[in-house]
Amino acid sequence: MNRGKFLLLLLVLGTTTVFAQKGSVRGFVYDKQDGEPVIFTNILLEGTKYGAATDVNGYFVISNVPYGNYVAVIRYIGYTEQRLNVHISDKPVHLKIELEPATQMLSTVTIDAKREQSQTQSNVSVEKISPKEIQAFPSIGGQADIAQYLQVLPGVVFSGDQGGQLYIRGGSAIQNKVLLDGMVIYNPFHSIGLFSVFETEIIRNADVYSGGFNAQYGGRISSIMDITTKDGNKKHTSGKISASTFGANLLLEGPVIKESENKPYSFSYILSAKNSYLSYTSKNIYSYIDGSLPYDFFDIYGKATLATSNGSKLNVFGFNFTDDVRGYKSIADFNWKNRGVGANFVLLPGTSPALIEGVFAYSDYTMSMTESNTSKTSAIGSFNGGLSITNFFGKNQLKFGLELIGNTTFMVNNNYDTLDPNYSTEIATYSVFKGFLGKLLYEPSIRFIYYASLGEVNLEPRLSFKLNLTDNFRLKFATGMYSQTFIDTKSDRDIVNLFTGYLTASEELNIVRTFKNDSINQYLEKSNHFIFGIEWDLMRNFSLNAEVYYKMMNQLVSINRDRYYNDDFDHSNKPDYLKKEYILEDGRAYGGDISLKYDDGRLYLWAIYSLGWVKRENEIQIYYPHYDRRHNLNILSSYQFGLSRSWEVSLRWNYGSGFPYTPTSGMGENLPLSDGIYSDIIVTNGSLMTYYGELNSKRLPDYHRLDFSLKKRWQVGKRGVIEATVSVTNVYNRNNMFYYDRITGSRVDQLPIMPSIGLNFSF
């Protein structure tokens, strides 16, 4: 072949390639029994490399597919595989797929589905949680709850059974952002520490990012928890009634209008409620617990869904969560309320493969504490709105969006010391690109945020990638810049404090104007994340995930525990950090997590070890905060056995090294001496004063606890299921220390052994 003919052939082939006719297939995957979207389902065009996985809406797009006839294979764990003939042409193909739950799933299909998801998602420092995984956890009090499951996640430290908080890879509790269907939720955990405000049965999916999250999320510098709830059952009325020695739950869902040939839309609802009556049962069943358990809560959540036949839908939802603690340790009463209402939508426009999503919501949170002669209240009212568009280009995706957040916070101390309401507004735009280059998956993103109340603009670039070295071994990395305005309102000296207040940083607060000899002109808390990890499928059903991380946290606003002088004219020559109410600190958090998981459908094993350091530095000292736990180990197992796997036994063992605390060096009487040198110290009544030792220079004893549960299920009729649960918390009755009582010098322990029984009926 001469050179001319060769060049002509290349030109023809190139032209054919450039102008090759290509189309797309898109659609939604649903559960045939209730119409609920089936998330993370794999859809593959057989014999090709074209495929996609469904998102949290059950939506998928496969684009840039050459014209022709194909067989679409739809696979997901727990469902019967489907095969559909698909003809790709100039008109986009729209599929509505309903999967039938399977009675048996082949192990090879399970592995293929997991491997496909691992290779197409970056999954850096993120755990995707489903209700099935939560149910595999030992059900404390007979009730499975996401709060209990979160405690075993890599990098998560839980401070205690009563009034406990979650600390994620060195970040404080206020640096965690929680979203429910796109709405911001404040304080999502009840005071008992074992339960969240979320009913397990309404959760479709929960993504927990312990760091390195992309630009879609902002406003916090440590972690994100993004929870999506189910739509109501579109096929028939169903529900669940549960009761245990801890509390009771109710779930009801069903269609108001069913989709039909004459009605290309459906309208459904879901309603859940749960409450605790521990303050009553603990007086009898758990009367051996010192001081009983004065915890009562009541949560209610409702959602209505209008869905069209092409997958577009509108959700309207609302909730009211309450917590009531009477006579905590016989010294104080606490209560809080969290209320909200909102709407979100998913829109599939015309023939475009793009997906449009939006949300607008309002929520408010009020927390109060009352002691003998002291009271204080903190409140926040917040609205947030957002709009995003996702475009699909083959395997690549481009998502961009707009977000608006407004907050109003205020605090009242002793009914007279009132901080004026503090207003803050955040306006953000973001763009996230997900692309593939051979074996490399890369996800650059950027967030542009304007803090209107502070007059500050922040540009936050972020990047993650995953390199699929082989089908079984992957490298991953993430980095990014983050910021927030929320600040802590409680001191590190409070080893245990159920009061959680919210404030936003502003110049109106009494904050230092200098830090390490530098002038401060803005009060944004900032952090930079660096994460590197590996994923390794060691063998069928057995995988390893390991990550190391480093977090730099700057300009952290904290209550000044070393304040010696009043901030007035007489002390104008004193440095700010000795007289201001709030100071600035820098922080560092670093360490690593390793996770081993085995899951063959019947036996589930998960072992997680975390090693971490957290340090804070201010003008005076470098110290470890009270949630710095060096070693944390969790071992979780669950096994199904018996006829139709109707029996299930679960175990969880947790070990944690001791938390830092500040010792008490002495006690004394504080005399007011209001008359100066003429005060009579013989008749003057003083108050008790505590003299503290070096900040967090001691550590509590190590912590370990074993939890156990046994479940039995009975099928009743076509849809009815009865489930009985026997559970034991702290099986070997370990005396885990909670804190030292500074007044009496005695130790206060966490929960002792607590057996419980539960019964629920699903229909």
List pLDDT tens digits, range 702-717.
999 999 999 999 999 8
Tell me if 20-120 shares its fold with 126-662+697-762.
no
Between CA 137 and CA 244 the distance in angstroms is: 16
Q: Does domain 20-120 have CATH number 3.40.250.10?
A: no
C-alpha 745/C-alpha 367 separation (Å) is 29
In single-letter form, the type of residue at position 277 comes to: Y
Q: Is 135 helix (H, G, I), strand (E, B) or coil?
A: helix
Q: Classify residue 102 by its DSSP letter.
A: P
pLDDT of 678 reads 60
Tokens of 114: 């997991």
Is residue 655 within 8 A of residue 702, CB to CB? The reply is: yes
User: What secondary structure letter does DSSP report for 79?
Assistant: B
- Supply the DSSP string of 139-181, one letter for each residue: -GGG---HHHHHTTSTTEEE--SSS--EEETT--GGGEEEEET
Inter-residue contact 603 to 579 (CB < 8 Å): no
What is the model's pLDDT at position 114?
58
Chain centroid to CA 84 = 37
d(C-alpha 474, C-alpha 685), whole Å: 69
Question: 241, 159, 141: which is closest to 195 by C-alpha?
Answer: 141
CA distance 191 to 499: 10
Answer whether 722's CB lies under 8 Å from 761's CB. Answer: yes
**Dihedral angle computed from the Cα positions of residues 629, 635, 638 and 639, in that order, rounded to the nearest 10 degrees:** 180
CA dihedral 133, 138, 139, 141 (to 10 degrees): -160
Q: Find the Cα–Cα–Cα–Cα dihedral 153, 278, 731, 737, rounded to 10°.
A: 70
d(CA 580, CA 565): 8
Residue 246 token pair:
């801890």
> Domain segments of the chain: what residues?
20-120, 126-662+697-762, 666-691
**Alpha carbon 338 to its chain's center:** 17
Across the strands, what pairs with 754?
Answer: 729
Amino acid at 710: L
Q: Give residue 305's Cα distance to chain centre.
A: 24
pTM: 0.90
State which residues of the chain have pLDDT below 50.
1, 5-19, 105-112
660 φ, ψ (degrees, to nearest 5):
-70, 150
126-662+697-762, which class in CATH?
mainly beta
CB 658 within 8 A of CB 700: yes
Cβ contact 169:155 at 8 Å: yes
At 7 the pLDDT is 42
- CA 668/CA 632 separation, integer angstroms: 38
pLDDT at residue number 455:
85
According to DSSP, the β-strands at 93-99 and 22-31 are: parallel
In the three-class reduction of DSSP (H, G, I as helix; E, B as strand; rest coil), residue 22 is classed as strand
**DSSP secondary structure string for all residues of 518-586:** EE-----EEEEEEEEEEEEEEETTEEEEEEEEEEEEEEEEEE-TT--S-SSGGGTTS-GGGT-SEEEEE
Task: Give the Cα separation of 478 and 217 in Å (integer).
Answer: 14
- Show the beta-strand stretches assigned E in 309-421: 313-328, 332-347, 355-370, 375-393, 396-413, 417-418
